[in-house]
Amino acid sequence: MPVFEYRGLNAAGQPKSGLKEADSPKTLRVLLKKDGIFLTEVVGQADAQLKAKGGAAQAGQLLNQDINLRKMARGRVTTDDIAILTRQLATLLKAGVALVEALTTMVDQVEKEHLKRIVSEVKQKVNEGSSLADALAPHTKIFGALYVNMVRAGESSGALDAVLLRLAEFTEGQAKLRGQIVGAMIYPVIMVFVGGGVLVMMMTFVVPNVAKIFSDLNATLPWSTRLLIFMSDLIRNWWFVIFPGMFLSVFLTWRWTQSKVGKPVWDRIVLKLPFFGSIVRLMAMARFARTLSTLLKSGVPVLAALDIVKNIITNTVLSEVIDKARDSIREGESIAAPLKRSNEFPPLVYHMVAIGERSGQLEDMLLNVADSYETQTSMRINALMALLSPLMIVAMAGFVGFVAASILSPMLKMNTLFSR
């Protein structure tokens, strides 16, 4: 069933717009009238008329392309959107609502147009006899391989509602952790930009005026003042080289860290960085443990679960360890042994995994590991931000003090000479 984008007016005369499924524009008008909306315009109405005349393939293609472009431009699908969708779908299924009917409800419930189109396509495929996992498979960029595989396992075990509930909790947890990290980084980033702007203003406007005074007096200046004037002249005369060069260097470094050659080297360096490296490792361990636990609880086989976990761990060093662990398990070895041999996983992880394998409670042990490391990650990030803010203030104050001392020192010296 096609999805039409419409514009209309409600009973109060206020403009309304959105997306709605209908067989034709005529049907759309009837459906909107029931909702108290008077239809004024249908995006793609000419295409729908073309479809009625027999050009179904061409009409559908043009209409979907028009709606797709509009939706793509009206908002990116976030982790929070997926979490809300998943929890609502799980609630409907747990209440006994049929899958197709639940998906129909979600099409009306979803606000972001790009996600609404995807859910509509999924509903249509499920209505035609496809499984939910197969319907979601073409949209792995939005939902991810983890999501699709867990849904497939849930359908196979007949516990789709429970699996979706776990997925919702998992997705919400990931979104919460990401939001915490982003929120913690906002203040330092603002400080860097504001501080950098203030320093550039001082070097380009304040220092040159002071330097002109010293030049007119033909005074012998201290080394700090000469250095300050040199830096000021360098920025004013070569800004068109310095600033593009800085941005280019950052860009080229970023590209190198994403390349096949540079990424493994960079990931290894990051893990060895003081303080930052431990946070990156803790975050990776938490993601590894929680994802593996969620997959195993949902009925995904160990080898397939490790394959998925390997792909969501962004650090190539740790990802290679998981890949080797998967190969060792295929040969009959336990999960804990290759993790211990790698010297990249903390003792808590492989000890808890070993205990879980022996006791048959691997999923619960992994969940405990994830909780522990997420708590440690949160504490480390808060401690880092608490330390970083005063350090940045001290650094800015130090530079401002250097500028002030470099300017005032020769002034005081000349004032002493003139007073004699």
User: Residues near 186 by Cβ (< 8 Å), separated by ≥ 6?
Assistant: none
- Mean per-residue pLDDT for 355-377? 88
User: Residues near 388 by Cβ (< 8 Å), separated by ≥ 6?
Assistant: 188
pLDDT on residue 14: 67
- Mean per-residue pLDDT for 12-18? 69
| 39-53, 320-334, 375-389: segment of lowest average pLDDT | 39-53
- Asked if pLDDT for residue 4 goes beyond 80, the answer is no
- Mean per-residue pLDDT for 362-367? 89
Comparing 147 with 217, the larger pLDDT belongs to 147
pLDDT on residue 67: 45
Mean pLDDT, the chain, whole residue set:
79
pLDDT on residue 314: 82
- Asked if pLDDT for residue 239 goes beyond 50, the answer is yes
Q: How confident is the model at residue 1 (pLDDT cuts 50, 70, 90)?
A: low
Residues 367 and 373 sit within 8 Å (Cβ to Cβ): no
- Top-confidence range, 94-108, 162-176, 244-258: 244-258
Comparing 330 with 412, the larger pLDDT belongs to 330
Nearest one of 106, 116, 90 to 4, comparing CA atoms: 116
Q: Which two tokens stand for residue 235?
A: 């920025």
pLDDT on residue 311: 78
- Asked if pLDDT for residue 416 goes beyond 50, the answer is yes
Provide the edge-to-edge strand list for the sheet that holds 3-10. 15-21, 3-10, 37-43
Q: How confident is the model at residue 174 (pLDDT cuts 50, 70, 90)?
A: confident
pLDDT on residue 59: 42
Domain 170-420 classification at class level: mainly alpha
pLDDT on residue 391: 83
Q: List Cα–Cα distances, 132 to 31, 107, 123, 129, 148, in angstroms.
A: 27, 15, 8, 9, 9
Q: List Cα–Cα distances, 178 to 183, 230, 283, 319, 360, in angstroms.
A: 8, 43, 10, 20, 32
- Strands 15-21 vs 3-10: parallel, antiparallel or unpaired: antiparallel
- Asked if pLDDT for residue 64 goes beyond 60, the answer is no
pLDDT on residue 72: 46
- Asked if pLDDT for residue 249 goes beyond 90, the answer is yes
Rounded distance, CA 72 to CA 64, Å?
Answer: 12
Rounded distance, CA 239 to CA 221, Å?
Answer: 25
pLDDT on residue 248: 94
- Mean per-residue pLDDT for 167-183? 78
pLDDT on residue 73: 41
C-alpha triplet 3, 128, 125: angle, nearest 5°:
55
pLDDT on residue 60: 46
- Mean per-residue pLDDT for 132-148? 85
Rounded distance, CA 197 to CA 413, Å?
Answer: 30
Express as a percent the part of the chain with pLDDT over 90: 4
Whether the model clears a pTM of 0.75, i.e. scores above it, the answer is no
Rounded distance, CA 386 to CA 381, Å?
Answer: 8
Look-up: residue for tokens 């004013």?
A: 236
pLDDT on residue 265: 92
pLDDT on residue 150: 80
| 68-82, 238-252, 292-306, 312-326: segment of lowest average pLDDT | 68-82
- Mean per-residue pLDDT for 161-176? 81
- The domain limits of the chain are 3-72, 79-143, 170-420
For 197-222, write each residue's pLDDT tens digit. 887 888 888 788 877 777 776 667 78
